[in-house]
Chains A and B, each alone.
Chain A
């Protein structure tokens, strides 16, 4: 059962990586509002940039940030790997479907697929944009932790409900992944004789239905748990401590705005 082991390890690793974001490495050294604003500006610039220079610059900044904040390089890399593999999968058709100068031909039996230079270029640009965007946001998140990110968002006047929602997702994504891994093991432990691979898949695929049911059940209880401790009619709003702005915050904001300007200028 190599396949399941791999799946389980993947799920566990991903859960671990998302978990590591919930507690920051240097949570209180930056003003949360400024940091979140900078994170959003840089992530946005990376996501909407053209070419390779800007994503590369932003990737470099995120590496510096990870090193300065003493965040876990391993977890950061794991998330980046996951994102880039995923994006590569999604954008894989681009070289084949984009018209342009053909650089290679892939023949699959009866079908011949042409790989275009423009398409390949577009695919790589897409991967680098998304990876840079993910990298910069992850490095902010792993330095500050989700709690500070939520605080920062509230500093930017996001509704409290949004913060609570973010909090809940960041907790429940890893839980959900671990639960899936556990459910797979529970099923496997009860396959007691050699059965055909198709049957194995049939047994394992029942996980999906179970996850939906459990998800529903859990949200029913979660709603009770939140209600039980909510005293004010409105959503609970976290009261942000007003952290003063330091030189670091000004510097961060300045760099972010410079890069945003670069991004805008490169488009015009």
Chain B
């Protein structure tokens, strides 16, 4: 556990009514300007952990710290600093129109409807929702709903973003857009926590990775070291990114372990450069 993190979740034990023990001493932390991923298979407790981190569920044991102080003591004002995007958009959307959905928090923070409207339009434009503002959120497609939930949270500019399976049900274009939103948030100094079982996506965006299985957590070091560690991944019934698996099958493993196509392209460009350079030097030697 790092000291002085923006969000610190310590040794959480949680049981749902009906004795379903979900978390057994889960801990993680997130700092400003970093993307932390929590990966684990279905039912491992990721969603529950995020609800607890957002102060929406009370654990039987353990502590959530926002800055130095317990989150509990800072509610409900502290919610301004935490933006949770739910796994299922249908659970999150509860306003009659997309406009109202985005304006819901702004109306609590700003004093005039003109300011609210200006801000809503600004956020909507950023997430390409401009022409959907008057529509009821329930009638949108899954991808559009996801963008609305993201917009409704980005609108109030929280310091911490908790994203639960942000790429589920999204086509490639929207996955890339979501990655861009995450990168922008990171560069703006926000702490981003992602719960996901999509290792490819996690490999693309995250700085550090935790693994969760049956309510306990491991890892927490840099993404590459976790995502290439097969024994660690096996702990959570996960597999390494496809690029890595392919290289292994083809017996082309390289020491720099590329995780994504981008890494691979860079690595192979580097290799061809090196090869070209070495063949040039050989040729000049021969001369």
A23 in contact (CB, < 8 A): yes
Q: Which residue of B lies closest to A236 (CB)?
A: B108
Chain B, interface residues (CB within 8 Å), range: 35 or more
> Which listed residue, A146, A167, A228, A241, touches B112 by the CB 8 Å rule?
A241
Q: Which stretch in A1-9, A191-199, A217-225, A247-255 binds the other chain?
A: A217-225
B18 in contact (CB, < 8 A): no
Residues of A within 8 A of B56 (CB): 224, 227-228
Q: Which residue of A lies closest to B110 (CB)?
A: A239
The 8 A CB mask of B47-74 against A (1 = contact, 0 = none) is: 0000100101100000000000000000
> Which listed residue, B54, B76, B96, touches A232 by the CB 8 Å rule?
B76
B79 engages A230 (CB within 8 Å): yes
A202 in contact (CB, < 8 A): no
B92 in contact (CB, < 8 A): yes
CB distance from B159 to the nearest CB of A (A): 13
A175 engages B138 (CB within 8 Å): yes
> Which listed residue, B77, B96, B109, touches A147 by the CB 8 Å rule?
B96
B96 engages A236 (CB within 8 Å): no
Residues of A within 8 A of B88 (CB): 221
B152 engages A229 (CB within 8 Å): yes
The distance in angstroms between the C-alpha atoms of A147 and B104, with both chains bound, is 12
Residues of B within 8 A of A241 (CB): 112-114
Q: Which residue of A lies closest to B109 (CB)?
A: A231
> Which listed residue, B54, B57, B136, B138, touches A23 by the CB 8 Å rule?
B136
A229 engages B79 (CB within 8 Å): yes
Of residues 146 through 169 on chain A, the ones whose CB sits less than 8 Å from some CB of chain B are 146-147, 167-168
A267 in contact (CB, < 8 A): no
The distance in angstroms between the C-alpha atoms of A236 and B104, with both chains bound, is 8
A224 engages B51 (CB within 8 Å): yes
B104 engages A229 (CB within 8 Å): yes
Residues of A within 8 A of B109 (CB): 231
Residues of B within 8 A of A233 (CB): 76
Interface of A is mostly: helix
* Interface size of A in residues (CB-CB distance below 8 Å): 31
A171 in contact (CB, < 8 A): yes
The distance in angstroms between the C-alpha atoms of A168 and B82, with both chains bound, is 23
B76 engages A231 (CB within 8 Å): yes
CB distance from A93 to the nearest CB of B (A): 38
B100 engages A225 (CB within 8 Å): no
A111 in contact (CB, < 8 A): no
A226 in contact (CB, < 8 A): yes
The 8 A CB mask of B126-140 against A (1 = contact, 0 = none) is: 000000001010110
CB distance from A218 to the nearest CB of B (A): 8
> Which listed residue, B82, B96, B134, touches A170 by the CB 8 Å rule?
B96
A167 engages B134 (CB within 8 Å): no
**A225 touching B79 in the complex, CB below 8 Å, given contacts A23-B97, A23-B134, A231-B105:** no
B100 engages A147 (CB within 8 Å): yes
The distance in angstroms between the C-alpha atoms of A224 and B164, with both chains bound, is 14
Of residues 132 through 166 on chain B, the ones whose CB sits less than 8 Å from some CB of chain A are 134, 136, 138-139, 152-153, 156
CB distance from A235 to the nearest CB of B (A): 10
A167 engages B95 (CB within 8 Å): yes
B14 in contact (CB, < 8 A): no
B134 engages A228 (CB within 8 Å): no
> Which listed residue, A170, A221, A228, touches B79 by the CB 8 Å rule?
A228
The distance in angstroms between the C-alpha atoms of A150 and B205, with both chains bound, is 42
A222 engages B94 (CB within 8 Å): yes
A239 engages B96 (CB within 8 Å): no
Q: Which residue of B lies closest to A150 (CB)?
A: B96
A264 in contact (CB, < 8 A): no
The distance in angstroms between the C-alpha atoms of A241 and B80, with both chains bound, is 24
Residues of B within 8 A of A222 (CB): 91, 94
B92 engages A167 (CB within 8 Å): no
B111 in contact (CB, < 8 A): yes
Most B C-beta atoms less than 10 A away, residue of A168, A230, A237: A230
Give A residues with C-beta under 8 Å from B: 19, 22-23, 145-147, 167-168, 170-171, 174-175, 218, 221-222, 224-233, 236-241
3 pairs of A and B residues whose beta carbons are closest in the complex:
A221-B91, A22-B96, A241-B113
10 interchain pairs, CB-CB under 8 A: A19-B136, A168-B94, A225-B92, A225-B94, A229-B152, A231-B80, A231-B109, A232-B76, A239-B107, A241-B113
